Chain A
């Protein structure tokens, strides 16, 4: 149990984030909008945990950050204002073409 979340909860949240971005693929979405959308499904979801999930999914190669001209210095952009889209590998995961034990709830 990490930070009050069970392993299955963590997997479900990450999976639903990937699935939501898959529905919008190839479009990108702001982290804030994705978080507020997922709150309807996971009312106890905390922003700090979700931000770490986004970073994790980026490191895994399922998400990639999209930098907009409006951001200026991308390093200073708050996480909730950053845009994320699914990568091709993320699409394959969402379509169950590839398997990831860390993501299957």
Chain B
């Protein structure tokens, strides 16, 4: 098969020159990266999944429990069949061992004893309730001050602004009308009795 003779015309020669120049100036094609074992997803990475710090606490907790469960079932899972009524000793031993293994895997071996934990949780809960109640009381008091301040017809209550609370001016009158005595009367009576000479 003979090669076809090239008819060299000026146009064709120019085209061939351009193509040759383009080929010379063209950037070399990028080398294809050969896949290394580190870059491909191995079975381990597929099982591990995302890092623990990238997921929320709930997801991390469930992942940890799943791993602990898989390990427990793989290690002592065959002993669960001994849970029949006739071998309660075996089942008891199995439960005890499994509990210890669970504690070790879940990081509970260095944990605080449960009695202390119960007390601590009660203290924290009571503290939180006290804080909530204090906030409620403060909100009620501030609301009452604001209401009283607007209804005092412009009277400035220095004690309210200073954080102190004083009895209203007509409180003595209220006490007198209710009980027939006033705070001043009681104070005068006590001082009068003290000053009187004893027989």
Contact = CB atoms under 8 A, between A and B. Distances in A.
A19 to B, nearest CB: 6
Contacts of A63: none
B55 to A, nearest CB: 13
Q: Is the interface of B mostly helix, strand, loop or mixed?
A: helix
A23 B68 contact: yes
Which size class do B's interface residues fall under? 35 or more
A22 B103 CA distance: 17
B121 A46 contact: yes
Contacts of A33: 99, 102-103, 106, 108
B98 A36 contact: no
Interface string B110-152: 0100100110011011001100000000000000000000000
Contacts of A83: 95, 99
Interface string B44-69: 00000000000001100110011011
Contacts, number: 89
B89 interface: yes
Contacts of B124: 43-44
B111 to A, nearest CB: 6
A44 B128 contact: yes
B102 A68 contact: no
A66 B99 CA distance: 13
B95 A66 contact: yes
B129 A4 contact: yes
Which size class do A's interface residues fall under? 20 to 34
A27 B69 CA distance: 9
Interface in B60-114: 61-62, 65-66, 68-69, 72-73, 76-77, 80, 83, 88-89, 91-92, 95-96, 98-99, 102-103, 106, 108, 111, 114
Given A27-B80, A69-B91, 20 more contacts: A4-B128, A19-B62, A19-B65, A20-B65, A23-B66, A23-B68, A24-B69, A26-B80, A27-B69, A27-B72, A29-B98, A29-B102, A30-B99, A33-B106, A35-B114, A39-B117, A44-B124, A45-B121, A47-B117, A83-B95
Interface of A: 4, 16, 19-20, 23-30, 32-33, 35-37, 39-41, 43-47, 66-71, 80, 83
29 contacts: A4-B125, A4-B128, A4-B129, A16-B61, A19-B62, A19-B65, A20-B65, A23-B69, A24-B68, A24-B73, A27-B69, A27-B73, A27-B80, A30-B99, A33-B106, A35-B114, A37-B108, A41-B57, A44-B121, A44-B128, A46-B122, A47-B114, A47-B121, A67-B88, A68-B92, A69-B91, A70-B92, A70-B96, A71-B92
